[in-house]
Amino acid sequence: MSRPVVDYDALTEMDDPDVAFLAGSDDLEIRSAAGERTKSASSSAVGRSALRRRSPSWCSSAWLWIFLLCLLVGCLVITLGVILYRRSYDKAMRVVFSDGLENSSAVLMVWKKEDFASLTTTMTMTSWEDLVDKTTAAPKPALVEKCAGLTACYSQRKRLPDTVHPHIYHLNLTVPNVTHGAYSGSVKIDFSVSDTVMLIVVHAKNLTIDISKIRLGTKSESGIDGWILPSSICECHSLDQLQISTRHTLQPGTAYQLEIVFSGVLSNGAAGFYRSSYLDENNKKIFLATTQFEASDARAAFPCFDEPALKAIFRVRLTHHPSMTALSNAPVKTSVFNQGHGSQTTEFEDTPIMSTYLVAFILCDFVKKTQKTKSGVEVNVYAVKHKLGQIDFALDTAVKVLKFYEDFFGIKYPLMKLDLIGIPDFSAGAMENWGLITFRESMMLYDPVESPLNQMDQIAITVAHEIAHQWFGNLVTMSWWDQLWLNEGFATFMSYLGAEAAQPQLSLWQRISIDTVQVALPLDALSNTHAIVLDVEDTSDIASRFDTISYYKGASILLMVYRFLGPSVFRAGVSTYLSKHQYGTATTEDLWSALDAAWPPGNVHGAKTVKDIADSWILQPGFPKVQAFQRPNARQVDIIQSKMVSMSHLDGYGPTWMVPISMVDSGGSVGAGTVASGWLDGQTTGLNLSSAEVKWFKLNANQSSFYRTNYEKANWDALTTALKANISSFSPEDRANLLDDAFSLSRAGKLSMTTVLNLASYLTRETHYLPWHSALPYLHGTENLLFNTEAFMSYRRWRRSLIEPVFKTTDCFHAIPSDISKRRFCINTFDEACNADLPECIAKAQKMFEDAEKNITRIPPDFHDAIYRTVVKHGDEVVWDRLWHRYQTTQVASEKHILLLSLSATKNMWLIERYLRYAFNPEMIRPTDTVTVLMSLSLNNYAARESVWRTIRRQWDVIVERYGSDSTISGVIRCLDWMTSEADLEEVRTFFRQPGRKLGAGALALNQTLETIDLRRQFLKLYSNQTGIWLASQNH
């Protein structure tokens, strides 16, 4: 509703020149000091200024009679108003006033008749305490504005004011029927201010606010003392804000309470307060209500101060159907059946002080299993009834991880319960809501009979990640989203320590460099990367920061710090950081300060601090390329750093990093030599080899630091010779690192493909899974690059030649290896042999599949992925339909995910188009899985690429509506990373850069994809012929 326009020409005058009644009404105009010019939104809009005092024209008797008549009518109206006022305090006299404050005018409610009598004595006041009604009658604001457009809002700031501090939320929600989705609620927010305040701003998004019931009052221990009268309220949809203006100045030292009544509808997406569903054992659809608030969707469930630093206690009460179990962050306090309404009201204990994005509440009919930790914490894992047998591994991991973290951090978990729950529709992998962690089902459920080893890995790491957040993020929260890495980088790093402690048989700590450093380096090499700590304001910018840099580069830097500090110093510093900032917020500076306090002096030359070392990695994008040269006939290796850049970008000195350098060499004989270490502080440094006669040397031992290493051709050749002669000369981590560096340097135009392919040829002798785990993405990626070149078929033959001898000498089917490393090696070998179209592998997969269909044998779970993909790729529509039916009916989350990926391997164009239609049909494939289908088809299936690109263009509006507000949309854009030509580049650029094209949170991903396509184009121009010549020389 827009502000009412006053007809100034209709005003009549009284003896007091500063008060005027609106003609024919009981409304007054209160003017500021005489002659002071004021401006209002409404008056300026129509070009009017404040009224000036007129000189009455008493010489005319007609005017005198008109004046007396109007005065009489006015008195009668006032008398009638007083009578009505006495009958109902809900009827208030409106006063139009103009006080000159902030050049604004507003409509104010006057609630007591004695206030009206005193108006003539308060015309120039700047303090409005007299307008606070000390009764408890509920005020109703007089003016509500929709504030269409940002400029119409009272405040245009994207961030909330830092002067209002919430303390307690009293949140009441009523959800009568989850199936229908409508709900109502109220929230009372106890708060204080740190400065004088006349504008209260809270977040609200897609909610219906009952403006007439907004109440703002002063509060004491006995309750509300009096109401502060709102002057106007702006629903600023552009900023997801409800802006409440009051003429009473809120003062520091006073307790206040804001009450808002609202209603909403459960979202059909996977954010905010939303509705999910599943099929029970009788194929009946069952609905549940759940939440996902990170980063900025708590405001879509209830009005709140939705910023991470504005932490408070939450008292949650849910009224719901009695058949539903109600869950929230804290344990249940009371649960009462409402006889008259047939509903149940569940009230929860107070939460710890926490951020809004960590609030969670769920209504479901799930069942649970429970264990207690030695410290008395009740750990519950919830799932749908017929999947209860799949939660034991997650429960066991959670109990052990919780104990490990309590010991490691030296701080007890602060709640008495920790719930884990698998949600059928969930966009992220999991969410760390304090005391109520939500998971995608495939990240929590493990079937001992049907789930593969990598499912166990994923669950252990994910559970450990989310429980780490109970300290990093929940107990100590980042001050703002630019510090997101303190949450996600820390949880990612700690998840490997936690998973190793809980499930040591999986040897997950050995994988940390491959899973974090090797994942983050390629993206951070792009010019369209970003620093770990980077200013963000818009919600779309916040969503885009939930990316590889925040998670995996953040974890990589912590791994580097952990290794140069040592475990005991790192642990002591982290414990100090958490203790000092618990229940509050922190910044990167706070972390470095705590680690420095725990680090004995004199550890690094030049008296460097952790901050000195780490800031270069955190505050600037990218990372160094370290070039190493051995001096002729000398023991010294000269080391030079420059920023890692790609292709046409020239190496330059530019920024530097303080790099921890470690080195291994041949030691003059076969076998690992002495490890040397030092610091690269500035452009250059040097390290001494174990002797002048070493045959090879390698930097970044076990890939413990975040950089690429390049060598002279002679050392690359020596490394290759040593690998082919005796792979045990290097640790598995170092072999994996050599492959990772070589392929990546070639992609950047820094190392010839002949050197890389020569090095990778040693894989025919490789029997450890780590180097294969590093090599496989590059082997597949290079094949994708060469798809439209003459070298493609030659490359496929060479790739097949690498795996063939390994496959023929590896037998993994008579018995599952007891050694985890060998078991992983078997999985990688069979997977790569079938991907490379090795005939023996294809035949083996097809036979095992048919035998399983005839119930002759069972397929070992570790090989479901490779076998399903192979039979789909080389099979017909009948095979595809069998697996599609299995996808629709299986109740095993890991099996469902494997089938979803495997179905994308078909080469049948009709099936590809059919699968794409299913991907956008919520009745066939959940919207949370649509992007998985698109990515699998586009990046792993040559036949499907163009179809996926057409579908993305055709469905772009749907994609933006579904995924535009979170990082999922980045995955859709990355589906185009396969492109290689100038024409491809221009086509993508033209589509996405069309005027009015919405990108949501995908703007950064688009820039990265455009750069990736261009780099692929340049790679082919530089290396395709060279690669073809080398392959021909190897008889491929």
- Which residue spans of the chain are classified as CATH 1.10.390.10? 471-619
Q: What is the DSSP string of 467-533?
A: HHTTTBTTTEEESSGGGHHHHHHHHHHHHHHHHHHH-GGG--GGGHIIIIIHHHHHHHTSTT---SS
Secondary structure letter of residue 215 according to DSSP: E
**The amino acid at 860:** P
Cβ-count burial of 602 within 10 angstroms (0-12 exposed, 13-18 middle, 19+ buried)?
A: exposed
For 190, 255, 261, 315, the CA distances from 224, given in Å and listed in that order, are 11, 10, 17, 18
CB environment 472-496: b (16+ within 10 A), e (fewer): bbbbbbbbbbbbbbbbbbbbbbbbb
Where helices occur in 410-483 by DSSP H, the ranges are 453-468
471-619: CATH topology: Neutral Protease; domain 2 (1.10.390)
Q: Which residue has the tokens 């009096």?
A: 226
- Kind and range of the H or E element at 641? strand 636-643
Phi, psi of 253 (to 5 degrees): 90, -5
Nearest-10 crossing angle of helices 567-581, 554-565: 120
Instruction: Using alpha carbons, select from 455, 452, 456 the residue that is nearest to residue 861.
Output: 452
The number of beta carbons lying within 10 Å of the beta carbon of residue 62 is 8
Phi, psi of 437 (to 5 degrees): -85, 125
Q: Is 466 marked active-site?
A: yes
Write out residues in the chain with pLDDT < 70, as ranges.
Answer: 1-65, 67, 75, 77, 79-146, 602-607, 648-653, 668-674, 815
CATH architecture of the domain with range 132-365? Sandwich (2.60)
Known binding residue 321? Answer is no
Structure tokens at 450: 């049907």
Q: What is the pTM of this model?
A: 0.85
| CATH number assigned to the domain covering 623-751 | 2.60.40.1910
Known binding residue 469? Answer is yes
Structure tokens at 957: 């509006």
pLDDT of amino acid 606 = 57
How many Cα atoms occupy the beta-carbon half-sphere of 832 within 13 Å?
Answer: 34
- Which residue spans of the chain are classified as CATH 2.60.40.1730? 132-365
pLDDT of amino acid 813 = 80
Task: Calculate ∠ Cα 580-583-588, nearest 5°.
Answer: 55
Structure tokens at 158: 């994207």
Q: Beta-strand (E) ranges in 576-623? A: 584-586
pLDDT of amino acid 248 = 81
Known binding residue 167? Answer is no
For 574, 603, 619, 1023, the CA distances from 593, given in Å and listed in that order, are 10, 16, 16, 47
Between CA 789 and CA 318 the distance in angstroms is 62
Catalytic pick from 347, 466, 500, 1011? 466
The sign one gets for the Cα dihedral 926, 928, 931, 932 is negative
Sheet holding 144-145, edge to edge: 144-145, 230-236, 241-250, 197-203
The set of long-range contacts for 886-891, using a CB threshold of 8 Å and a minimum separation of 24, is 891/386, 891/387
> Three-class SS of residue 715?
helix
Phi, psi of 278 (to 5 degrees): -150, 165
